[in-house]
Amino acid sequence: MEQAVSKSRLWIILIGVALALLVVIGSFGIGVFVGTQKARFSYRWAEHYYKNFGGPGPQFFRDLRGRDFVDGHGVFGEIIKIEGNALVVKSKRGVEKSVVVSKDTTIRKGGEPIKVKDLKVKDSIVVIGSPNEKGQIEAKLIRVFVGFWERIKEEESM
């Protein structure tokens, strides 16, 4: 009888150790999976960075006064193309950036909320958002300025 009890305790301990080992291996596997997904995201984002954000290319630190650095989380410029919920915005420096507008994006013109269908080519806008894995800016806020480029051109001609 004592042998049967000690054998059953041994089996319970072995099963407990096996389950603990499975939990450890499973946790490790989940960690590897999450790490791989993060690395894949970073790789794809970096692969499209210069193309979508108009960066200076390989000479990234060429101008240390800041003119060569890019704005990864936003853009200020003029809409040059609208395709559904995607915009192409050209900054004053001539850099074109791709902007994705979602249903959660807040769009305001003169303090009033508007829809993406109300945006027009040649509108001056400021976009604040976050970069996605394709290097596009996912817009959180878009602000439309009326007559802004005309004022800038007047100031430059003075």
Instruction: Tell me the domain boundaries of the chain.
Output: 74-157
Higher confidence at residue 34 or residue 48? Answer: 34
CB atoms within 10 A of CB 98: 20
The answer to whether the beta carbons of residues 75 and 99 sit under 8 Å apart is: yes
pLDDT digit string, tens, across residues 105-144: 999 988 789 998 999 999 989 899 888 888 889 999 999 9
pLDDT digit string, tens, across residues 86-106: 999 998 778 888 999 999 999
Is the pTM for the entire model greater than 0.85? no
Q: Is residue 64 predicted with pLDDT exceeding 50?
A: no
- Predicted local confidence at residue 114, as pLDDT: 92
- Predicted local confidence at residue 141, as pLDDT: 92
Higher confidence at residue 38 or residue 27? Answer: 27
In this structure, is the dihedral angle defined by the CA atoms of residues 117, 101, 124 and 135, taken in order, positive or negative?
Answer: negative
Supply the CATH classification number for the domain 74-157.
2.40.50
5 contacts: CB under 8 Å, gap ≥ 6: none
Higher confidence at residue 70 or residue 106? Answer: 106
Q: How confident is the model at residue 7 (pLDDT cuts 50, 70, 90)?
A: confident
What span, in angstroms and rounded, lies between the C-alpha atoms of 64 and 38? 30
- Predicted local confidence at residue 65, as pLDDT: 47
145 contacts: CB under 8 Å, gap ≥ 6: 123, 124, 125, 126
82 contacts: CB under 8 Å, gap ≥ 6: 88, 119, 120, 121
